[in-house]
Amino acid sequence: MAAVAATDESIPDWGRWTLAGTALAGAVGLGIAVLIGPASRRLAGERHPLTQAERQQMTATERVEAVNAARHTLIQAATGLVVIGGVVFTAQGLWYTAQSLDASRQAQRTAEQGQIADRYTKAVEQLGATKTNIRLGGIYALERLAQDSPRDHQTVYDVLAAFVRERDRKPVEEGVQSSFDPAADTQAALTVIGRRNGTRDVSALDLSRSLLHGAFLDRANLRGVNLFNADLGSADLNGADLTGANLTGANLTDANLIGADLRRVRGVTEDEIRKVARVDKTTKF
């Protein structure tokens, strides 16, 4: 009954394993009883009740020794089978555990990816809100998402770069230089971009034609960033890393580039930078 019940899928896994173990233990006990009883006597030559003549051929002690020897042989064989069965049973248990852990990990990964997708969607929606504080929440939520999910790093910062590019774009396209500092949400996005883990970048960020006049980018990581035609007038780029950045057509008038790393910048010469921006001996060219 236990063996039949162990195949019932309506019973929990632990219950079926318990029933299967019970059935196996019962079968082993019955097998041992058969081995030390009828089977050992048959192996010792007693295939039917002994006749008087057969009894006289061996003493009682010899008959007992023959039966005991047969029992010993059979028990050794049975022990070997039990050990093999135990190994198989243990291997099946380990395989089942590994499969369960695998399925659990897969389910956990799926759940985590679902949570990340929900967080991303909500944060992007917040960027389009009319209230500044909600947009700020979306910016910092995206930063946290990029930290928690390296695979989404590039996507997150591409979105933030697009957010900066699209802010106040009309004056930039018309060639009108603004004397105002960036809005709070634009500055927050720039701050987040500037402190990102650049080793996870897959491609250069695009901040071309961005209105960054007066932006605070102190020690910002802007390595390789595309700043084509960006307005960086009066921006604080003290100690910023602009290595390899594209500064073609960028407005650097009165920009603070003291201590900045401008090695391998494209689209502008050292002399052109010195004429319009603030630099000193710590600025790297």
In a domain, residue 188? The reply is: yes
Q: What is the pLDDT of residues 23-34, one digit of tens each?
A: 666 666 666 655
Query: What range defines the domain where residue 248 resides?
Result: 128-276
Specify the pLDDT at position 94.
73
Q: What is the pLDDT of residues 111-158, one digit of tens each?
A: 677 788 899 999 999 999 999 999 999 999 999 999 999 999 999 999
Could you give phi then psi for residue 177, rounded to 5 degrees?
A: -85, 130
What is d(CA 102, CA 114) in angstroms, rounded to the nearest whole number?
A: 18
In a domain, residue 282? The reply is: no
Residue 116: CA atoms inside 13 Å, Cβ hemisphere, count? 19
Work out how many domains the chain is built from and give that number.
2
157 and 21, same structural domain?
no
Tokens of 38: 């009828």
In a domain, residue 283? The reply is: no
Domain CATH number, residue 248: 2.160.20
Contact call for residues 185 and 135 (beta carbons, < 8 A): yes
In a domain, residue 144? The reply is: yes
Stronger pLDDT, 238 or 84, i.e. the higher one: 238
- pLDDT tier, 61 (very low <50, low <70, confident <90, very high otherwise): low
177 and 101, same structural domain?
no
165 and 64, same structural domain?
no
Tokens of 14: 């632990």
pLDDT at 67 over 60: no
In a domain, residue 98? The reply is: yes
Q: Could you give the C-alpha distances from 209 to 128, 223, 227, 233, 236, in angstroms and in order?
A: 20, 17, 7, 13, 18
Q: Could you give the C-alpha distances from 285 to 255, 258, 280, in angstroms and in order?
A: 15, 11, 11
Q: Decide: residue 219, CB within 10 A, 0-12 exposed, 13-18 middle, 19+ buried.
A: middle
3-state secondary structure of 177: coil
11 and 139, same structural domain?
no
What is d(CA 267, CA 38) in angstroms, rounded to the nearest whole number?
A: 99
Contact call for residues 238 and 262 (beta carbons, < 8 A): no
